Amino acid sequence: MGYSVLMPTSLPTQEVTIGGVQFRLTALGSKKGTRVLTRLLNLAGPSVEALAGQDERAVMSALGSLFARLSPGDLEFFDSEFGETTEIMREHGYVRLAKLSPLDRDALWAANFGDMFSWLKSCIDLNFASFLAGVGDIARPASPAKTSAQSP
């Protein structure tokens, strides 16, 4: 007898506008997502534990300092991985970011690295927000079980 595996019909997507350009982000699949998350955690190191219990603003601030430590190879890795699952609106419809010509990529990012950073943060948020939110739950000690008073 066979078995059934529940599969999503599509991966989650999110549309964002950054620097006047409309992006459609699609979540990474599990295998690629695991590879990207592992690279992100290797870069973040112990600072991930410091995010425990912090609000979204603190997490975004920590991501900002993480990006300040990226090597060119790291940045190329994230650009490549997220570029495969990102589309941008052009005059004739959406085009996959990874398929843009070097001239089109220059037009998009040159002198707009703040926009590139915003795009990367949006990609991380779409893919790993639930994980980052769970970091606080993992790092906090469990609360003692509540007991209800029993009346005689």
For the stretch 18-38, pLDDT in tens is 999 999 999 999 999 999 999
Residue type, 12: P
- Which pair of tokens denotes residue 127? 């893919």
For the stretch 60-112, pLDDT in tens is 666 666 767 778 899 899 999 999 999 999 999 999 999 999 999 999 999 88
Q: Which pTM value belongs to this model? A: 0.74
b/e map of 43-53 (b: 16 or more CB within 10 Å)? bbeeebeebee
Distance, in Å, from the CA atom of 68 to the CA atom of 59, rounded to the nearest integer, reads: 14
Q: Mean of the per-residue pLDDT values for the chain?
A: 79
